[in-house]
Amino acid sequence: MDRSRIAVLLSGRGSNFLSIHSAIEDGRIPARIVAVISDRESAPGLARARELGLEATAVPRKGLPSREAHEQSILEQLRRSGAEWVCLAGYMRLLTPAFVSCYPQRILNIHPSLLPSFPGLRAQAQALEHGVRISGCTVHLVDEQLDSGPIVLQRSVELRPGDSETSLAKRILKAEHRAYPEALNLLLSSSWRVEGRRLIVDEEAPVEAR
């Protein structure tokens, strides 16, 4: 089976990267990770990638003259690795439209809320403050706006009385670790297209037919 070449961009702990890596190792995603790139040299996820023997590179923003120069440097790494897909896994920078246009419908992100609710930072705290009863996570294709592209998959998580930002984030993270590999596998293993905002998976049978 042909395995798609995946790059992961991360800024921190990298638990979503590890969930993708494990799923690939278990044969649950027809892919291989060809590059792990971080804007932070000290990102624990980058250290883990090195331990796993993956091609892992820090591309810090500091020292580069502009945001564009930083992205060019990352794009250079991506091209060198031959990556066909880019998975954002806790990557804390907004990508410019120029970057996104280099990988049209080939950049994925995971966000810890049911989008379009609570985009941006501290999504779990936003959900708590709003008083919603259900939140969750969303895997989506990345477009030019923040947390906005076509949705691939969502998983819900119920809020519990007494939940804190930390306890909710922990339960959502568990759902993320299942959702990201599942979404990636769906995109790599099925035929799909985007119509307007909607991602249509061809094999998905209509509800009546199930």
State the catalytic residues: 111
Interface residues for ligand GRF in 115-174 (CB under 6 A)?
Answer: 173
Q: Which residues pair with 10 in a beta bridge?
A: 38
**Piece in contact with ligand GRF (CB under 6 A), picked from 6-14, 34-42, 68-76, 114-122:** 6-14
Report the residue from 176, 179, 185, 199 that binds ligand GRF according to the rule CB under 6 A.
176
Report the residue from 6, 7, 8, 14 that binds ligand GRF according to the rule CB under 6 A.
14
Shortest distance, position 191 Cβ to ligand GRF, whole Å: 27
| Residues 6 or more apart whose Cβ sits within 8 Å of residue 164 | 128
Cα–chain-centroid distance for residue 51? 21
With residue 141 as reference, give the H or E element that holds it: strand 134-141
The size of the chain, in residues, is 210
Instruction: Using CB atoms within 10 Å of the CB of residue 192, give its burial: 0 to 12 exposed, 13 to 18 middle, 19+ buried.
Output: middle
| Of 10 and 78, CB closest to ligand GRF | 10
Site size toward ligand GRF, by CB under 6 A: 14
With residue 168 as reference, give the H or E element that holds it: helix 165-189
| Of 58 and 200, CB closest to ligand GRF | 58
Report the residue from 9, 24, 95, 110 that binds ligand GRF according to the rule CB under 6 A.
110
d(CA 210, CA 197) in angstroms, rounded, equals: 24
Is-contact 144 100, C-beta < 8 A?
A: yes
d(CA 141, CA 205) in angstroms, rounded, equals: 22
Contact mark string toward ligand GRF, 86..105, x via CB under 6 A: ---xx---------------
| Of 49 and 187, CB closest to ligand GRF | 49
Shortest distance, position 66 Cβ to ligand GRF, whole Å: 24
| Interacting residue ranges for ligand GRF, rule: CB under 6 A | 10, 12-16, 45, 89-90, 110-112, 173, 176
